[in-house]
């Protein structure tokens, strides 16, 4: 069995071998959601719901292009915002968001499930790309902010917004809650040759990880002030101990 390890080490061991140096600035959820949705609100995610009053319609039913505003909860002290990209059914939608499963990571068209008793999307669980399954934590939300014109805009990484990585879209056969680790190819703003190498490394067989609750608990927390070399050293040390 793989002993419990840090969430950063788990990211590397699960096949996602290239991440930005965590001491550097990373892409936050707010500029990503603003660009993709067209909702022109600034400031921390936890303020979006109140700021939207009088500017945008708000509600508790998902619509394509709407921004789902998360309440602060646990390590997610500044809240979170995500954009609905597709309605699957009454309790499931696909969302696009950043800085959730890993620092600066962009996740496109991943699953979010309404787990509220009233079916009003006041509590959700969200797909966690590094472990390839639904996140364990239940996240409270304010509701949906609807843009004047529902349209999904492309997001092109801008260095001024911080370093980012991009997870592949989740496959439809991964929507069910299955414990198997589904490793996603990582796309970075690197030369084609290096990008191909990253994908090749990601596809190599790696030790299977049981769900690490530390990974889920801290997945959307602020990035640690640690270098990539320090993280790799931790991974090697953990491997030698197993």
Per the CB < 8 A criterion, the answer to whether 1 and 118 are in contact is no
Domain membership of residue 78 as a residue range: 7-241
Per the CB < 8 A criterion, the answer to whether 92 and 112 are in contact is yes
Overall pTM surpassing 0.85 (yes/no):
no
Nearest Cα to 80, choosing from 105, 117, 55? 105
Average per-residue pLDDT for the chain: 73
Q: What is the pLDDT of residues 84-130, one digit of tens each?
A: 999 999 999 999 999 999 899 999 999 999 999 999 999 999 999 88
Q: What is the pLDDT of residues 6-35, one digit of tens each?
A: 444 444 333 333 444 444 588 999 999 999
Q: What is the pLDDT of residue 96?
A: 96
Is residue 226 a part of any domain in this protein? yes
Is residue 119 a part of any domain in this protein? yes
Is residue 196 a part of any domain in this protein? yes
Q: What is the pLDDT of residues 152-177, one digit of tens each?
A: 999 988 888 888 888 756 555 544 44
Q: Would the CA dihedral through 222, 161, 87, 60 be positive or negative?
A: positive
116 DSSP assignment: -
Domain of residue 185, CATH code: 3.90.1720.10
Is residue 228 a part of any domain in this protein? yes
Task: State the average pLDDT over residues 62-71.
Answer: 98
- 89 alpha carbon, distance to own chain's centre: 21
Is residue 29 a part of any domain in this protein? yes
User: How many whole angstroms separate alpha carbon 84 and alpha carbon 208?
Assistant: 31
Is residue 162 a part of any domain in this protein? yes
Is residue 1 a part of any domain in this protein? no
- Domain count within the chain: 1
Which pair of structure tokens corresponds to residue 195?
């990008």
Sorted by sequence, the CB contacts under 8 Å of residue 209 that are 6+ apart come out as 2, 10, 13, 14, 131, 181
Backbone angles phi, psi at 139, to 5 degrees: -110, 120
């Amino acid at each position: 069995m793989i002993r419990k390890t840090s969430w950063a080490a788990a990211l590397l061991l699960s096949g996602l071998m290239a991440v930005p140096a965590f001491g550097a600035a990373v892409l936050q959820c707010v500029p990503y959601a603003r660009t993709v949705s067209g909702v022109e609100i600034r400031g921390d995610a936890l303020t979006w719901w109140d700021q939207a009053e009088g500017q945008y319609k708000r509600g508790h039913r998902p619509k394509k292009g709407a921004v789902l505003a998360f309440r602060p909860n646990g390590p997610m002290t500044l809240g979170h915002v995500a954009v609905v990209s597709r309605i699957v059914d009454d309790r499931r939608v696909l969302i696009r968001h950043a800085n959730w499963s890993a620092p600066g990571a962009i996740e496109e068209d991943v699953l979010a499930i309404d787990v509220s008793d009233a079916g009003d999307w006041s509590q959700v669980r969200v797909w966690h790309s590094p472990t390839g399954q639904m996140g364990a934590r239940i996240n409270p939300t304010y509701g949906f902010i609807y843009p004047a014109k529902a349209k999904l805009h492309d997001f092109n990484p801008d260095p001024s917004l911080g370093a980012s990585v991009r997870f592949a879209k989740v496959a439809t056969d991964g929507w069910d809650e299955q414990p198997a680790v589904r490793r996603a190819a990582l796309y970075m703003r690197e030369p084609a040759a290096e990008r191909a190498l990253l994908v090749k490394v990601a596809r190599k067989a790696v030790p299977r990880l049981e769900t690490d609750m530390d990974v889920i608990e801290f997945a959307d927390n602020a990035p640690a002030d640690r270098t990539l070399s320090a993280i790799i050293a931790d991974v090697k040390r953990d491997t030698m101990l197993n």
